[in-house]
Amino acid sequence: MIVCLCHRVSDRDIQREVGSGTCCFEQLQDDTRVASSCGSCLDCAREVFDAALQTRGGCHVAAAAGGALAFGA
């Protein structure tokens, strides 16, 4: 389904970004421009993003690794 009409971003696009390692909604916005124009899709985009993160097992920042990201539960 199309989540963001302004930039034609689908739920699959969001899931693909999360699968590629995007763990921050703001990074998702930078990469896809989702919810960055009119804003009417913000709630839906956030729900799809959060569900994709949960399905993936979340993301955790490893502070001891100098800011490197560690993925998984």
Domain that holds residue 9: 2-71
The percentage of residues in the chain with a pLDDT greater than 70, rounded to a whole number, is: 81
64 pLDDT higher than 50: no
CB atoms within 10 A of CB 9: 24
Question: Tens of pLDDT along 8-42?
Answer: 999 999 999 999 999 999 999 999 999 999 999 99
Residue 57's pLDDT is what? 87
Query: Domains in the chain: how many in total?
Result: 1
Average pLDDT of the residues of the chain = 86
Residue 38's pLDDT is what? 96
The domain that contains 64 carries what CATH number? Answer: 1.10.10.1100
Token couple for 60: 């955790």
3 within 8 A of 10, measured Cβ to Cβ: yes
48 within 8 A of 55, measured Cβ to Cβ: no
